Amino acid sequence: MLTYGMSSQADLQASDIEYGGNRIDFMVHYRGQRLGRLGFRMPGRHNVLNALAAIGVAMELDMDFAQIADGFKDFGGVQRRFQIKGEPGGVMVVDDYGHHPAEIRATLEAARSGWDRRLLVVFQPHRYSRTRALFDDFVTAFYDADHLAVMDVYAASEEPIPGVAAQDLAEGISRHGHKSCEFTGSIEATCRHLLDQARPGDMILTLGAGNVWQVGEMLLEALAAGQQGETRQ
């Protein structure tokens, strides 16, 4: 068994972690021996852990650390995992597949650790059954968002469940202390809402396993066309 983590008790340990924008660099130790620094273009503590797991697998396959570090050097992430889509009008648009409360917390922490930007988050609940089962976890998962827009539930072939609605989730998030959460409904309404909210220097993060990514695409087009803030005028 090979363990990994931030603790000195782990076989593979990460230390001296440096976060900078969409990049992480850290020192790798193996059973007390310093192997060297490693870096790649994905943010967040959870991705340090993911990298350690991959390093462990590579070492089990008898790759040396220099090869492993070289392989990470040009790794730029995967689609829909903190994917930076563009920055028109000074507003960074990012998309992530996270739709479980634990994933959401990790993704928001990554956004906070890498950038000093106001964070506007769009969340599309995925499936009525998941929304009902994890409701209590969802309502406390978004505290790192400066503003949260909650879209309609993406059914993913499920039939609606009586008493389960995205508007109720938004109200629950507000009741649990979030100071800026609104239910926005459709893709089009959500895009209009965010254009009204956004200003240069912000990050807009779309979260969910459905078609929430389309909000980001619409925002990129609208921001590039200079439509930001039009509804406020």
Instruction: Calculate the alpha carbon distances from 66 to 71, 189, 202, 214 in Å.
Output: 9, 50, 38, 40
- Residue 165 contacts residue 121 (beta carbons within 8 Å): no
Tell me the CATH number at 130: 3.90.190.20
State the greatest distance between any 2 C-alpha atoms of the chain, in Å, as a whole number: 62
Residue 167 φ/ψ, nearest 5 degrees: -60, -35
CA distance 166 to 172: 10
Same domain, residue pair 186 and 88 = yes
Q: Are residues 93 and 198 in the same domain?
A: yes
Residue 78 inside a domain? The answer is no
If you write DSSP's letter for every residue of 21-41 in order, what string do you get?
A: TTEEEEEEEETTEEEEEEEES
Let me know whether 103 and 205 are in one domain: yes
Other C-beta atoms closer than 10 Å to the C-beta of 61 total 8
Instruction: Give Cα 183 distance to the centre of its chain.
Output: 20
Name the domain boundary from 27, 51, 73. Answer: 73
Q: Which residue has the higher pLDDT, 232 or 204?
A: 204
Is residue 13 domain-shared with residue 53, that is, in the same domain? yes
Q: Domain total for the chain?
A: 2
Over residues 98-152, the pLDDT tens digits come to: 899 999 998 998 888 888 899 999 999 999 999 999 999 999 999 999 999 999 9
Q: CA angle, corner 177, sides to 168 and 161, nearest 5? A: 15
SS3 content of the chain, % helix, strand, coil (to 5): 40, 25, 35
pLDDT tens-place string over residues 210-221: 999 999 999 999
- 10 with 51, same domain: the answer is yes
Cβ(73)–Cβ(24) below 8 Å: no
Same domain, 11 and 123: no
Are residues 105 and 38 part of one domain?
Answer: no
pLDDT of the residue at 228: 67
pLDDT at residue 131 in the model: 97
Question: Are 160 and 200 part of one and the same domain?
Answer: yes
Instruction: Classify 124 in phi/psi space as left (phi over 0), alpha (psi -120 to 50) or beta.
Output: beta
Domain stops at, among 15, 38, 73: 73
Dihedral sign from CA coordinates of 137, 141, 147, 148: negative
213 and 172 belong to one structural domain:
yes
* Upper half-sphere CA count for residue 76 (Cβ side, 13 Å): 5
The 10s digit of each residue's pLDDT in 164-206 is 999 999 999 999 999 999 999 999 999 999 999 999 999 999 9
Which backbone phi and psi does 7 adopt, to 5 degrees? Answer: -75, 150
Q: What is the DSSP pairing of strand 23-30 with strand 33-40? A: antiparallel
Q: Which residue would you say has higher pLDDT here, 47 or 81? A: 47
Same domain, 122 and 45: no
pTM for the predicted model, two decimal places: 0.77
Verify that 133 and 193 share a domain, yes or no: yes
Please state, in angstroms and rounded to a whole number, the distance separating the CA atoms of residues 224 and 159: 37
The range of the structural domain enclosing residue 223 comes to 83-232
Last residue of a domain, one of 73, 105, 126: 73
